[in-house]
Amino acid sequence: MAGYPIELIVMQLFTGLALGTVFVLLAVGLSMVFGLLTVVNFAHGAFYTVGAYTGVFLFGLTGNFWVCLVGVPLVVGTIGLVVERFLVRPLYGRGIDYPLLLTFGLAYVLVELVRIAFGTSGVPFSAPPSLQGALNLGFGYFPLYRVFLVGFTTVLLIGLWLFIERTRYGLVIRAGARDPEIVRVLGIDVSRVWLLVFGLGTAVAGLAGLLAAPMRGVIPEMGIPVLVEAFVVTVVGGMGSLAGAVVAGLLVGVVVSMTSLFAPAFADMSMFALMALVLVIRPQGLFGRAGLMGG
């Protein structure tokens, strides 16, 4: 690491964390939906795209980023509820490949709808003025928007954790993930739990799209690399694990940004190298339970 000033390394580390928060948000939704519904959601990247464009639309309408921050997860989550209720639900109990193919096709449909509505080239979207500029973190100046991103995601994840660990909806979600049959026996309609979880997962994916938009740009194809990233993070963290999604998301973000500092040519493949390494050492992922698919 000789030749690199320590400030640069620390800054790059923080950049990695900011990037990682987007990965975390993406993986949380993907992982929850897989862990509970055993649905491999190939439309996850498309929901991310729809989230960014919904943000563009709402911003054009209101000119207020904070309205988007509330509106985007509501809109995308509602789309998720409709998709689960009418498209995914009839496929439960038919094997894992049916919902996989459905969401794969759905991703194309959603992206095409975005192209029809907003055009095939990208649209500009920047952070609101109040979040532009830089903040002195003590070791250097850092883009304010990324500081906001880290803070906002932290609050959101704490909220999600409290929801899952402390509320009765969360209790049903945790129980339903591990033993759906006894949950039904005890009088709870699990299909409503699946609906809620799918809606929640897509809402968070949409939110991730909005939050990433000022950093990564808004184009109809923005969800494609993101889907791959989300799968990598989910596999590294362990399918169905919330803690795994958080740790792996930040880890992947830091690994990618550090590699792009020290060996830029390898930045794109660094996350796959990390995934391969984790799979060799811990095939179920860092926080995954072995045999999730079998159970």
Regarding 182 and contact with other proteins (CB under 8 A), the answer is yes
Regarding 164 and contact with other proteins (CB under 8 A), the answer is no
Candidate residues 185, 265, 280, 281; the one interacting with other proteins per rule CB under 8 A:
185
Is 112 or 165 the residue whose CB approaches other proteins more closely? 165
CA distances to 10, 43, 168, 219, 250 from 243, rounded to whole Å, are 24, 23, 20, 30, 11
Regarding 67 and contact with other proteins (CB under 8 A), the answer is no
Distance (Å, rounded) from C-alpha 105 to C-alpha 124? 27
Regarding 291 and contact with other proteins (CB under 8 A), the answer is no
Regarding 166 and contact with other proteins (CB under 8 A), the answer is no
Element of type H or E holding 79: helix 65-83
Nearest distance, CB of residue 161 and other proteins, angstroms: 14
Site for other proteins in 247-286 (CB under 8 A): none
Give the closest residue to 24 by CA, choosing from 241, 213, 285, 172.
241
| 3 state DSSP class of 125 | coil
Candidate residues 133, 189, 217, 290; the one interacting with other proteins per rule CB under 8 A:
189
Give the closest residue to 56 by CA, choosing from 46, 73, 68.
68
CA distances to 185, 187, 188, 189, 277 from 181, rounded to whole Å, are 6, 10, 10, 10, 36
Regarding 174 and contact with other proteins (CB under 8 A), the answer is yes
Answer whether 193's CB lies under 8 Å from 71's CB: no
Nearest distance, CB of residue 187 and other proteins, angstroms: 3
CA distances to 28, 76, 158, 268 from 148, rounded to whole Å, are 19, 22, 15, 25
Candidate residues 181, 264, 280, 294; the one interacting with other proteins per rule CB under 8 A:
181
Is 131 or 172 the residue whose CB approaches other proteins more closely? 172
Is 78 or 191 the residue whose CB approaches other proteins more closely? 191
Give the number of other CB atoms < 10 A from CB of residue 170: 15
Stretch that binds other proteins, among 11-19, 133-141, 177-185, 257-265 (CB under 8 A): 177-185
Stretch that binds other proteins, among 5-13, 24-32, 128-136, 176-184 (CB under 8 A): 176-184
Structural tokens at position 158: 């704490």
Residues that bind other proteins (CB under 8 A): 168, 171-172, 174-175, 178-179, 181-190
